Structures are given as structure tokens and as C-alpha cells.
Copies of this chain bind each other. A is one copy, B any other.
Amino acid sequence: MGDLKKIHISLTKPDREMLKAIYRLSKGGGFAHTGALADAIGLSPGTVTTTIKRLAERDLLEHQPYRGVELTTAGRRAAVSAIRRHRIVERFLSDMLGYAWNEADRLAGAFEHELPQEVEERMFVAMDRPATCPHGFPIPDPDVSHIPEMPTLYALEPGAEAVVAVPGSTDPEVVKFLDAMGLRPGVRVLIKEKHPFDGPLVMRVAGQDRTIGEKVASQIFVRVLSDSDDGSNGSGKLKEQPA
């Protein structure tokens, strides 16, 4: 409703990181707690508290002392815009400079904050408006306050088809394992069986049957394919979908 005027808020690096972390930790709804934020960003709890208070004064979040924080709509919009920028920069590093998808995450964090929003937008169009970051997560539209949730691989039922996305924070050992299985960002999978009681999952990846356990399958996010979808979003580009 009241986006009276879209005054583009200027945020500092710690502010942005904070908003992103809060968004991540509270996307299920509910509060993000100081301690969790502290080790998500790598700051001391005291620093988190003061940063939070600064942001609360700008109405980007609500702080219930000793209880936690919750983003306001403006805060959520700012967080999503920070995430958008991060993912665009990741794509740039991967598409235009040839970095591997797991390196892009690290490097993007280093300079995304100072990047003029204007340049971010040009990067985006220069890459033909990619739909996802190199990890396979969607690049949200500007000025939205929500990014669609993605289920994990293990949440799928047999018969479902999906495109995989692997978080940047994934343990390198796990990444190596996934790579050997062909489970890279953007790859298309078809679920064949799921054994009961948290049992393993059988699926078809790149023409081969693969079995993975619940532990790993729950760490992989997916975009479920509708019938008309061809899965090209993950690694390629996509401008608009036919109605």
C-alpha cells in the first residue's frame, strides 16, 4: 500500500548484512535472535544489539528486547534488495569472469555493498536478466518484499521433477560429493522412489539413477517444475515465460 515514494534507503555494509541475516533466519516467520545473528554474521552479541537498535530507529525492523527482532515491510524490502544485489554480483562473477559457483559467493560479499545500484542494474541487463544466481536460487524482482520459498529435495514425492539449487554455505565435502553425483545447481532431477522412515531417496539425474540419504537431500533446495517448464532457468537465462 503505502509506498508513497520509493526513497532509496542508503545502507551501510553491516546494516545490509544484518538485514540479510535476519531475513534468512526468520523467513519461516517469527523472530530472529541476537545470538543466532551474532554467529551468522560473525559479530559479537553486543555489536548485534547496537546495530539492531540503529535499524529499529529507521523502522526497518521491530525490536522486542530480550525477545528478538522481526523485519518490517520496509526492512524486508531492503533485505530482498540486498539479496538481489548479491545474486546479481554472483552471476556476474560466474558468467562474465568465469568463477566457479562456490567461489562466487565468497567474492560477491566483498564488494557488493559499494556497488552503485545503477551498475547492478546494468550488470543484470548485460547478462540478459538471468532468473537465478549460480547456486540456482531466484533473483528477486526489485522492490518486492518476499522471495518465494523453495522446498528441499527430500520434500518431493515420487514422480516430481525439479531443478536443484545448492546453498553457498554448504560444507565443501558435501559439495564434492554432490558434484560426483551430478547434483549441480541448475541440474534437473526426477524423483523415482522415497523410502519410508527417513529412508533414502532414489532419483534420476542426467540419465543415471542415484540414491542419496535424507541428511543430504534435506540440504538441497529445488524449484519444482510445472509441466510446461523445461528447467533451463537454473544455468541458463530466461527473459519471460509464455502465458
Q: Are A119 and B96 in contact, with the CB atoms below 8 A?
A: no
1/0 per residue, CB under 8 A from B, across A108-150: the answer is 0011011110110011001000000000000000000000000
Which one of B96, B99, B111 lies within 8 Å of A114 (CB-CB)? B111
- How many identical subunits does the complex contain? 2
CB-CB nearest in chain B for A112: B114
A107 to chain B, nearest CB (A): 6
Q: Does A166 contact B (CB under 8 A)?
A: no
Q: Are B98 and A107 in contact, with the CB atoms below 8 A?
A: no
User: DSSP majority for the A interface?
Assistant: helix
Q: Are B119 and A93 in contact, with the CB atoms below 8 A?
A: yes
Contacts of A93 in B (CB 8 A): 119
Complex Cα distance, B119 from A107, in Å, reads 8
Q: Are A97 and B113 in contact, with the CB atoms below 8 A?
A: no
Q: Are B116 and A107 in contact, with the CB atoms below 8 A?
A: yes
Given contacts A96-B96, A98-B126, A111-B114, 19 further A-B pairs with CB under 8 A are A93-B119, A96-B126, A97-B119, A97-B122, A97-B123, A97-B126, A98-B122, A107-B116, A107-B118, A107-B119, A110-B114, A110-B115, A110-B116, A111-B111, A111-B115, A111-B116, A111-B119, A113-B114, A114-B114
